[in-house]
Amino acid sequence: MERTATCGVLSFPAEVDLSNGEAILGQSERLLAAGVPALILDLTACAFCDSSGLNVILRSQARASELGIPMWVVLPHRGIVRRVSDVAGLPRRVAIAPDVATAREALAVPAR
């Protein structure tokens, strides 16, 4: 977990499943409750993500929306996590960036 003046970044571990999904969600909720101006969920290092991981993302997005906090998910173009996310329709529900730098740049652009 990283917190700067412009956003909070939560990096997912290599594997996200039932054993750690709630703990990751707790970290996300703590960042949002702390009043970060924006949230980035970074799945760059995540090689396996079951429905628990998708649940973390969607619940984080719902809470961020309630608080008026923009959120981006960093999801590489390739890999099993990307395929699972695409099948689940995640890119239609959350903002996706290929890397953290792109997500930070997107957050720096005022919303229209």
What's the number of domains the chain is made of?
A: 1
CATH code (residue 82): 3.30.750.24
Give 41's strand partners. Answer: 10, 73
Q: pLDDT tens-digit profile of 33-88?
A: 999 999 999 999 999 999 999 999 999 999 999 999 999 999 999 999 999 999 99
Listed residue (106, 99, 105) closest to 41, CA to CA: 99
If you average pLDDT over residues 2-11, what whole number do you get?
Answer: 92
pLDDT confidence of residue 112: 52
pTM of the model: 0.94
Q: For residue 37, which of 64, 62, 63, 16 has the smallest C-alpha distance?
A: 64
pLDDT of residue 18: 95
Task: Give the model's pLDDT for residue 5.
Answer: 86
Query: Residue 6 and residue 103: Cα distance in Å, rounded?
Result: 12
Q: Domain containing 102: what range?
A: 2-108
